[in-house]
């Protein structure tokens, strides 16, 4: 089985061909990068960097997927599609379909807009009944829209002084780094988007079920304790 893990970031698998162009991935892929990583990455970013498993192909997906037509069995990406501008999504999905063998599996994980919206409405109702404070309700509103409007990268915002200034100057704001959400999907619109792109039989699945054999063993949507990696996500699979 040849399975591509597109835009993998820190979440890699030794069973996949992991592809990404982020700074940590580029550091992991070079001797010089591995040498300087301990000096640049701290806290959660350093922990995630050290936990990366498997080789990573350093490639900018804006230039397409570096595989021949109908050459792979599966394509997976998690919390990637919502970061793409809507006018880019059709060409991205066409590229995924191009590299998949006929009948190959396209597995997508995105934040579930329905989950976020229902949590917000439940919080609003509770606030109106006086059961939660305005501050607590505001936290749920933050969860719904913060990543759509964020200006500064979250990781950089945790830094201080010269390091924070340098990261902003060199790497740019959150949108330039691809951190912001450009669109959101639910269990109706994501399957419809896939069908429009030519995929067939789109189905909502769970984090630990898939038509890809032994999916839990890939350790991408769950850890070794079978704990879901990204709760509140929507999982959809379709075939080329």
Residue 40 lies in a domain: yes
CATH of the domain at 18: 3.40.50.150
Q: What is the mean pLDDT of the chain?
A: 89
For residue 42, pLDDT beyond 90: no
Categorize the per-residue pLDDT at 240 as very low, low, confident or very high, splitting at 50, 70 and 90.
very high
Report d(CA 197, CA 80) in Å as an integer.
17
Domains in the chain, number: 1
Sequence-distant (6+) residues with CB within 8 A of 63 are none
Residue 225 lies in a domain: yes
pLDDT tens, 134-159? 999 999 999 899 988 888 776 777 77
pLDDT tens, 59-112? 999 999 999 999 999 999 999 999 999 999 999 999 999 999 999 999 999 999
Cα dihedral 231, 44, 84, 14 in deg (nearest 10): -80
Residue 140 lies in a domain: no
Residue 201 lies in a domain: yes
Residue 141 lies in a domain: no
Query: Under DSSP, is residue 120 helix (H, G, I), strand (E, B) or coil?
Result: helix
Query: Under DSSP, is residue 85 helix (H, G, I), strand (E, B) or coil?
Result: coil
| Residues present in the chain in total | 240
Residue 132 lies in a domain: no
Q: Which structural domain, as residue segments, surrounds residue 102?
A: 3-111+185-239
Residue 180 lies in a domain: no
Listed range (17-26, 59-68, 176-185) with the worst mean pLDDT: 17-26
H or E segment at 40? Answer: helix 31-40
Which of 152, 158, 147 lies closest to 171, judged by CA?
152
Q: Give the pTM.
A: 0.86
Residue 143 lies in a domain: no
């Amino acid at each position: 089985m040849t399975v591509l893990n597109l835009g993998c970031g820190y979440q890699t698998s030794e069973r996949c061909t992991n592809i990404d162009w982020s700074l940590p991935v580029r550091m992991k892929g070079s001797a010089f990068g591995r040498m300087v990583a301990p000096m640049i990455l701290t806290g959660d970013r350093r922990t995630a960097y050290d936990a990366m498993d498997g080789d990573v192909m350093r490639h900018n997906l804006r230039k397409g997927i570096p595989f021949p037509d109908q050459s792979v069995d599966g394509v997976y990406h998690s919390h990637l599609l919502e970061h793409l501008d809507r006018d880019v999504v059709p060409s991205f999905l066409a590229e995924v379909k191009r590299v998949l063998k006929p009948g190959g599996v396209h597995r997508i994980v995105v934040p579930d807009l329905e989950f976020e919206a229902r949590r917000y409405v439940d919080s609003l109702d509770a606030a109106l009944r006086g059961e939660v404070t305005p501050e607590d309700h505001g936290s749920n509103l933050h969860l719904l829209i913060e990543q759509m409007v964020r200006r500064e990268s979250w990781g950089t915002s945790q830094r201080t002084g010269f390091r924070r200034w340098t990261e902003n100057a060199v790497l740019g704001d959150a949108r330039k780094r691809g951190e912001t959400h450009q669109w959101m999907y639910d269990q109706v619109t994501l399957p419809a988007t896939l069908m429009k792109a030519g995929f067939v039989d789109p189905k909502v699945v769970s984090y630990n079920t898939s038509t890809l054999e032994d999916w839990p063993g890939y350790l991408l949507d769950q850890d070794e304790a079978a704990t879901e990696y990204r709760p509140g996500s929507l999982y959809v699979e379709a075939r080329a």
